[in-house]
């Protein structure tokens, strides 16, 4: 099974100049907890999570409209996978980087979706119930979830 088979394809993105208040509004409207930061062509530069917003405001003693998403991603590397990657490749990236969500890029390197641990667990659960291909065992999915959810 490939990433494109289970990734979310409706993805809201922002640029590095978008302030955190705007990012939070995008998250609320999209009902998600992370937003990829992209360049003008849609290539991933970083990612902002709801936790990043809270920590940036609290630790910098600033309001969210005073902090850009670019400031939050400064010094961090972006991890992502390809829509053509095997699901196990994506899981390995999540485990190595200890992240719960990965932007997914197409063949042009443009953000085309998002893959979350929730997507992986749901896929494994469907396989466990006999719905679709059990290309990832439920136990393996739960092990991955435990690793990326562990405090670090």
Provide the pLDDT for residue 121.
84
Residue percentage of the chain with pLDDT more than 90: 65
Q: Domain range holding 45?
A: 3-149
The tally of domains found in the chain comes to 1
pTM (whole model) above 0.85: no
Least confident of 46-55, 118-127, 137-146: 137-146
Reported confidence tier of residue 28, pLDDT bands at 50, 70, 90: very high
Reported confidence tier of residue 23, pLDDT bands at 50, 70, 90: very high
Which CATH number do you get for residue 37? Answer: 3.10.580.10
Reported confidence tier of residue 138, pLDDT bands at 50, 70, 90: low
Return the exposure string of 23-33: e unless at least 16 CB atoms fall within 10 Å of the residue's CB, then b: bbebbeebebe
Q: What's the order of all strands across the beta sheet hosting 101-105?
A: 81-82, 101-105, 111-116
Least confident of 30-34, 102-106, 127-131: 127-131
């Amino acid at each position: 099974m490939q990433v494109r088979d289970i990734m979310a394809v409706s993805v809201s993105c922002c640029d590095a100049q978008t302030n955190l208040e705007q990012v939070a509004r995008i998250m609320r409207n999209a009902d998600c907890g992370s937003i990829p930061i992209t360049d003008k062509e849609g290539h991933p530069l970083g990612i902002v999570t709801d936790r990043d917003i809270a920590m940036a405001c609290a630790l910098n003693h600033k309001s969210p409209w005073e902090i850009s998403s670019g400031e939050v991603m400064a010094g961090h590397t972006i991890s992502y996978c390809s829509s053509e990657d095997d699901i196990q490749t994506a899981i390995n990236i999540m485990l190595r980087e200890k992240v719960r969500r990965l932007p997914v890029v197409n063949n042009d390197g443009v953000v085309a979706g998002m893959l979350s641990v929730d997507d992986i667990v749901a896929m494994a659960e469907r396989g466990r119930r006999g719905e679709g291909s059990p290309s990832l065992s439920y136990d393996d999915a739960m092990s991955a979830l435990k690793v990326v959810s562990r405090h670090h």
